[in-house]
Amino acid sequence: MTVSEAAQIVWDYHHVHHDLAPADMIWALGSHDLRVADRVAELWHAGLAPRVVLSGGLGNFTEGVFEKPEAELFAERAVALGVPEAVLMIEPRSSNCGENVLLTQALLAEHGLQISSAIAVQKPYMERRTFATIRQQWPGLSVQVTSPQLSFQAYPTEEISRDDVVRIMVGDLQRLMEYPKMGFMIPQEIPPAVREAFDFLVKSGYTGHLLRQ
């Protein structure tokens, strides 16, 4: 097995391949990748939801890098791509996936909104983690998950290198293994080939995003 082969296996596993249907809201969960906002705009223009919620403050990868909360930068990008400001709601304080859920719930409650379905938008390698977290933290919500429609080969940029992507994917896979034990997300079946790829990448040194022991 090579690093590229193992990384492709993990990349593919992180995708949940939901067929998207109309929902009450399109919900971007914060990240360092503004292409998430591009995907939000695509979905809004496709008429998949009447409301867009952008959630994200400053987290692991944006603290000290972004000058504004992730949600505010996402909003600027979405508006530049033709999404009306009037349909946007911004939650600018969350710093992780669990807080995205809790603070979005609080924002909606503050405005007296009852939401029963959502299309959650995240980075490609956070689809499964996002799905498992939302299902645990907001069990009454019917959630679909999607991400920018890019291959593993096409995804890296000057700011987000291939090695960065692999390190983060490995860390998120470890979280899918460990966080259900802590009550943070619902369990996900992890096939043997995915565990083998995980072990190979860890042994190959892609450990920078692993949980601290």
The answer to whether position 208 is within a domain reads no
Contact 122, 18 (CB under 8 A): no
Query: pTM for this one?
Result: 0.90
Q: Is 30 in a helix, a strand, or coil?
A: coil
DSSP characters over 13-68:
HH---PPP---SEEEEEP-S-THHHHHHHHHHHTTS-SEEEEE----TTTTTT-SS
Decide if 209 is inside a domain: no
pLDDT interval class at 62 (50, 70, 90): very low
Decide the pairing of beta strands 142-146 and 51-55: unpaired
Domain, as residue range, for 73: 3-203
Contacts of 155 (CB under 8 A, 6+ apart): 124, 148, 165
**Model confidence pLDDT, tens digit, residues 179-202:** 999 999 999 999 999 999 999 999
Q: Which residues is 118 bridged to in the sheet?
A: 25, 143
Angle (deg, nearest 10), helices 162-182 and 127-137: 20
Judge whether 51 lies within some domain. Answer: yes
Separation of alpha carbons 199 and 205, rounded Å? 10
131 neighbors 177 (Cβ within 8 angstroms): no
Helix or strand or coil: residue 126?
A: helix
Q: Are 206 and 173 in contact (CB under 8 A)?
A: no
Task: Name the helix (H) or strand (E) containing 105.
Answer: helix 97-110
**How many other CB atoms sit within 10 Å of the CB of residue 176?**
23
CATH number at residue 107: 3.40.50.620
Chain centroid to Cα 81, Å, comes to: 20
Residue 60 has what pLDDT?
53
Backbone torsions φ then ψ of 39, nearest 5 degrees? -65, -40
Residue 129 lies in a domain: yes
> CA–CA separation, 179 vs 172, rounded Å?
10
Token pair 């809790």 is found at 102
What pLDDT shows up at residue 68? 77
Q: How confident is the model at residue 67 (pLDDT cuts 50, 70, 90)?
A: low
pLDDT band at 159 (very low <50, low <70, confident <90, very high): confident
| Residue 60 counted as domain residue | yes
Q: Is 89 part of a structural domain of the chain? A: yes
pLDDT, tens digit, for every residue of 160-182? 899 999 999 999 999 999 999 99
Mean pLDDT of 106-135: 94
- Domain count for the chain, please give it: 1
In a domain, 26, yes or no: yes
Residue 212 lies in a domain: no
The per-residue pLDDT for 158 is 87
Q: Sheet of 88-91: strands edge to edge?
A: 88-91, 51-55, 25-29, 117-121, 142-146
